[in-house]
Amino acid sequence: MKVVIYSEDPEIIKAGASYFPKEYIIGITTREVKYADELYLVDKIDEEFISNFITSLKPDVVLVGNSKRDKTIAGYVAGLLKVPIIPEVMDLEGNKAKRVVYSGMGIAEIEFSYPAVIIIGRKEVQVKEKEKIKINKLEVKEGRVKILEEKSKGEQGVNLSTAEIIVSVGRGIGSKENVKYAEDLANALGAALGGSRPVTAELGWLPEDRQIGLSGNKVKPKLYIALGISGQPQHLAGIKDAKIIVAVNKDKNAPIAENADYTIVGDAIEFCKIMSEKVKNK
Instruction: Restricting to residues 55-114, name those near another protein by CB under 8 A.
Output: 67-69, 71-80, 82-88, 96, 100-113
Among 147, 157, 177, 281, binds another protein (CB under 8 A): 147
Binding mask 214-253 for another protein (x = CB under 8 A): xxx-----xx--------xxx-----x--xxxx-----x-
> Which of 19-27, 122-130, 168-176, 274-282 is the region at the interface with another protein (rule: CB under 8 A)?
274-282
The sign of the dihedral angle between the CA atoms of 71, 14, 85, 57 is positive
Closest CA to 128 of 9, 6, 2, 20: 20
* Residues 150-189 interacting with another protein (rule: CB under 8 A): 150-153, 165, 189
Among 51, 168, 178, 196, binds another protein (CB under 8 A): 51
Among 1, 125, 135, 265, binds another protein (CB under 8 A): 265
Give min distance, CB of 73 to another protein, in A: 7
Taking each helix axis as running N to C, give the angle between helix 179-189 and helix 268-280, from 0 to 180 degrees, rounded to the nearest 10: 30
Give min distance, CB of 132 to another protein, in A: 34
> 86 - beta bridge partners?
118
Q: Given the complex with another protein, which of 87 and 195 has the nearer CB atom?
A: 87
Rounded Cα distance between 142 and 44, Å, is 9
- Using CB under 8 A as the binding criterion, the count of chain residues that bind another protein stands at 89
Give min distance, CB of 272 to another protein, in A: 10
Query: Do the beta carbons of residue 154 and residue 210 sit within 8 Å?
Result: no
Rounded Cα distance between 170 and 195, Å, is 6
Burial of 214 (0-12, 13-18, 19+ CB in 10 A): buried
